[in-house]
Chain A
Amino acid sequence: MLVIESVSKRYPGGVQALRDFSLTLGPGVLGLLGPNGAGKSTLMRILATTTRASSGRVTWEGADVAREPDRVREVLGYLPQDFGVYPNLNAIEFLEYLAAAKGLEPRAARRRIDGLLELVNLTADRKRPLGGFSGGMRQRVGIAQALLNDPRLLIVDEPTAGLDPEERVRFRHLLHDLAGERVVILSTHIVSDVEAVANRIALIAGGRLVTEGEPEALLRGLEGNVWEWTVPAAALDDLRRRHLVSSAARRGDGVQVRVVAGGAPGDGARPAAPTLEEVYLHAIAAQRAGVA
């Protein structure tokens, strides 16, 4: 179990990236959603032991990760955002290098690498220098390295960036299959990724936890606050100024809009089933209004 207790992070220069953030995680996939600069990557780095919290505490199975980082590193798989590679090594050599860094026994590592390359669909390219890989292929190497030590805690930061739709679906399935008894933390901007695999969602903004819970519970919380109807195209700008418009699609008779609002936002507006994206938009807007 991973416990995050009142964690704050302040960088030199005064940037406050996290404020009093608390969360307890058990097995399953947590989707961490938040806007730009929300503090997601900082939180990921603290959990991955690559930076320390300014205050507060993170424990993994009772051990403080700041004091005993190796306790969590032993079971950790981490894919950072903007992951790079050594361009002159091939996929096998690069993964062997990281396996050595993780302290894996060479023969076992080689067997594991073969399996992982198969899993991320890179077997045919395993002996090509990584410098010639596309962004998506490099990302798949990153995913493979995160799984090298069969981690019990898997932290993936924007893992589907650069993947094509087919690869994204494949990766979602992989995360879903991996979850089991593992703690998986998926940080992303892409709501549909979270929607597909997360059994729990945490929304973060301004370094604070805005809300968290199971997707179904979050959706239930917004029921009655989402409206759908068709408006003339000329009315759209005015509507956007007054309300939180979550989507707008052109139709033959005008623009079909979805709005998040406490009451009916216009004539003809009818209640609609909320989506996770609307949960996100509503929570972030409410948090911003609270801060303002």
Chain B
Amino acid sequence: MSAPRLARLAAADFFERSRSVGFLVMLVSGVWAANVFLPPNGAHYATLQVANHRALYSSGYTGLLVALLTTLFFGLAGFYLVKDAVDRDRRTRVGDVLAATRLGSPTYLLAKAFSNFLVLASLTAVLAVSAGVLQMVRGEDMILRPLELLAPFVWITLPYMAVVAAIAVLFECVPFLRGGFGNVVWFALWIAGIAIGSQAGERSGVTYRDAAGMGLVVPQIVAATKTAFPADTVKSHDVSIGVNVREGEWRLTTFAWRGVSWTTRLIAARAGWFAIAALLVLLAALPFDRFDAARRFAGPWRRTRAPAADPAPVIRGDGGTAAGEAVIVGAPAAMLLDARPATRGSGFAGLVLAEIRLALRGLPRIWGLVALGLAIAALLAPLTGVKMVVAPIAWVWPLLVWSQLGTRDARTGTAGLFDSSPRPLARQIPAAWLAGVAVAAVTGGTIGARLMIAGDAAGALACAAGVLAVPAFALACGSLSGTSRLFEALYLVIWYLGVANHVPAVDFSGASVPDGAFRTAMTFAIALVASLVVAGWARSRRLAR
């Protein structure tokens, strides 16, 4: 394994990914995010406060704040952004060529992970530069200290991004984590990692349980606040990191602080995550199938198939005849084919049923049994249990069915077949959406029915809005991106905030107070229309090509 060869492989892979509109959009979103991460005093939200205090926007603190939030949010999203490096080679069959070379699996996977890291590091660099500019714009401390500004990005964000890049490769190599199930697992891992990491620092200061580095810096932030406000009894749990919205303006008292003191011990602990990332990639080489379908074992969501048969025989236009063309000795085609034209009708119900069958095909039987069990539990369990336990499961259980909506043609290369059929926009978009709605009606819809029976009309309305809007949102995401990852990433965030934590604006489970439920229903009704318009637009754009 030579470093120059690794670099050449990673660089080419990075160029392939970076020369796209999507990559530019990602970088621009980084600039926007940096602006959001650094709110001026008096904004309606705060992003890092200790009780009612925060440090002035010095270079060190600005860098720390933006680096922490980049780690938090772009660490989550970054996984979904980069988890395609190996699969792209599988889809394009470039992997078949690579598998026939002397390129070893560890070298190949390290190159892919490095390319993932370069994508995430580019984004981090954009946020770091934006942070410097924004420090000047906010104008609380006009002295720019580049090293203090950049250190948190280097020692907090980049090691975490290396781990994310490695985990993305690892997940692509483990058959049952390769698809949507892996995307859900990553979301759960991310939440668990942040929760464990943020507590880790209280006990040990430097810990290998804290990949995101939250627990590492929280004690220093608390200590700086205590120094600035000795009369306050400030503790670690007073530190709030995230986007904390409130009705009125946040007026936080500020204090001067130049940021984290980077000791050798801290730096060594953070640098260790690069080594852990490399180990994760080497670990990925064990289950990696080297693009050999026969070495892949079936995961819970996929069935292994033999490679596609050789292509159908063809008759060449230049007189060359394809082998097998005339081999069949039997009845002429005219006798086998019915010459009468097929009866034409709208057949829309049939199309919806076909979409439902396709959406559910390949799922294990246990999936259907659990969905049925959730529907029964929604109708029979105590109402509190339905809201607190059944609803969160019921609204995440069909995730992998919804996330396939709008992506099938891109995955299977059947766009030409469907686009050439009658009224593709007017029939196929509604049919796919209704298939998703049918699934949502079984899991989430029964919760709405239960709320209605219990007299909670607002909750039932919110549920109904969710049943209609979530599949539409999935269809829009799938049609736009051609992959399931966009919906899986965005929906999990909405689900986590709304259904799991009952943030009223996005709680479509009906568990919020009536006022909130009405507002949610309205929000989701708008989202429904917008999603269907976006899905239709994405499809019409494809048709226009």
Could you list which residues of chain A lie within 8 angstroms of chain B, going by C-beta atoms? 9, 11-13, 15, 17, 33-38, 40-42, 45, 48-52, 70, 73-74, 76, 78-89, 93-94, 96-98, 100-103, 106, 129, 145-146, 158, 161, 165, 168, 188-193, 236-237, 240-247, 277, 280-281, 284-285, 288
Contacts and interface: CB of A to CB of B under 8 A. Distances in A.
A189 B99 contact: no
Contacts of B303: 13
A86 B16 CA distance: 6
Contacts of B323: 33-35, 188-191, 277, 280, 284
Given A12-B294, A97-B12, A50 B96 contact: yes
B387 to A, nearest CB: 43
Contact of A36 (B19, B99, B324): B324
B97 interface: yes
A36 B320 contact: no
Interface stretch (B201-209, B311-319, B443-451): B311-319
B245 interface: no
Contacts of A45: 96, 292, 307
B24 to A, nearest CB: 12
B137 interface: no
Contacts of B306: 11-13, 15, 17
Given A51-B292, A102-B103, 5 more contacts: A48-B100, A74-B102, A84-B91, A89-B12, A277-B321
B181 interface: no
B320 A193 contact: yes
B294 A51 contact: yes
Nearest to A77: B100
Contacts of B97: 78-80, 83, 98, 101, 145-146
B20 interface: yes
Contacts of A161: 311
Contacts of A285: 327, 329
Interface string B434-463: 000000000000000000000000000000
Interface of B: 4-5, 8-9, 12-13, 15-20, 88, 91-94, 96-103, 108, 290-298, 303-307, 309-314, 316, 318-324, 326-327, 329-332, 335
A194 to B, nearest CB: 9
Nearest to A193: B320
A50 B307 CA distance: 12
B339 to A, nearest CB: 15
Contacts, number: 199
Contact of B307 (A41, A73, A78, A84): A41
Closest 8 CB pairs of A and B: A84-B92, A192-B320, A97-B12, A11-B306, A88-B19, A35-B324, A15-B306, A100-B8
A192 B325 CA distance: 13
Contacts of A94: 12
B147 to A, nearest CB: 35
A102 B101 contact: yes
Contacts of B99: 48-50
Contact of A240 (B291, B311, B319, B329): B329
Contact of A281 (B290, B293, B327): B327
B305 A189 contact: no
16 contacts: A11-B305, A11-B306, A12-B296, A13-B305, A41-B310, A49-B99, A81-B93, A83-B94, A84-B94, A86-B16, A94-B12, A98-B94, A98-B101, A101-B103, A103-B103, A192-B320
Contact of B94 (A13, A76, A85): A85
Nearest to B6: A100
A81 B311 contact: yes
B100 A82 contact: no
Given A86-B92, A97-B9, A102-B103, A189 B313 contact: yes
A107 B332 CA distance: 59
A76 B108 CA distance: 18
A43 B324 CA distance: 19
A88 B92 contact: no
Contacts of A79: 97
Nearest to B305: A13
Contacts of B294: 9, 11-12, 51-52
Nearest to B91: A84
B290 A50 contact: yes
A9 to B, nearest CB: 8
A83 B311 contact: no
